[in-house]
């Protein structure tokens, strides 16, 4: 029998409760063809979450519910509830607070079909101006609000 070193598993679900996220990236590369936006979020602890908005239905019609959800999300990120139109990249670098909830479901496709899975759902979006309490827990370090990208956040958290 051979002994093998295993790779580190860093995946964990973001715990349930109110969490502040920073918008790290908005992937709109599938918007023109499929009507999809993926917003890549990260917590102060480096946990990552993707919010996906599918703005068109399979038949090409506008998905009103998803458009309303995206609009509310974007306006909340910007703390500008009168905005009529934005560039999707305008929210990169913004912060948003949300209630994290775990939802159980049974996978219907792929390798895990039939298995019970858990997903993370964000609800109750609120504006945020930074990571808030996490900044206070770092003895007055407020550089987190100044970080420009995911690499900066990763290096800050490694220090």
Asked whether residue 94 is assigned to any structural domain, the reply reads yes
Tens-digit pLDDT profile for residues 88-105: 999 999 999 999 999 999
Q: Residue 55 maps to which CATH number?
A: 2.40.50
Q: Which of 57-61, 105-109, 133-137, 150-154 has the lowest mean pLDDT?
A: 133-137
For residue 133, is it within any domain? yes
Instruction: State how far the Cα of 86 lies from the Cα of 9, in Å rounded to an integer.
Output: 38
Range of the domain at 48: 17-158
Q: Which tens digit of pLDDT belongs to each residue from 46-66?
A: 999 999 999 999 898 999 999
pLDDT at 12 over 90: no
Is the pLDDT reported for residue 143 higher than 50?
no
Number of domains composing the chain: 1
Residue 108 lies in a domain: yes
- Render pLDDT for 14-35 as a digit per residue (tens, 0 to 9): 999 999 999 999 999 999 899 9
The answer to whether position 95 is within a domain reads yes
Alpha carbons 127 and 95: distance in angstroms, whole number: 7
Whether the full predicted model's pTM is greater than 0.85, yes or no, is: no
Question: 124 lies in a domain?
Answer: yes
């Amino acid at each position: 029998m051979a002994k093998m070193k295993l790779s580190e598993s860093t995946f964990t679900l973001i715990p349930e409760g109110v969490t502040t996220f920073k918008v790290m990236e908005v992937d709109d590369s599938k918007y023109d063809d499929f009507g999809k936006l993926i917003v890549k979020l990260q917590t102060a602890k480096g946990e990552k979450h993707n919010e996906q908005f599918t703005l068109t239905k399979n038949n090409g019609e506008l998905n009103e519910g998803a458009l309303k959800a995206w609009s509310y999300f974007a306006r909340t990120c910007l703390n500008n509830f009168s905005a009529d139109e934005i560039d999707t990249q305008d929210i990169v670098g913004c912060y948003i607070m949300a209630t994290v909830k775990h939802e159980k479901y049974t996978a219907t496709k792929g390798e895990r079909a039939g298995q019970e899975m858990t997903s993370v759902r964000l609800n109750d979006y609120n504006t945020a101006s930074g990571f808030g309490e996490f900044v206070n827990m770092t003895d007055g370090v407020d550089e987190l609000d100044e970080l420009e990208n995911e690499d900066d956040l990763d290096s800050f958290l490694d220090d």
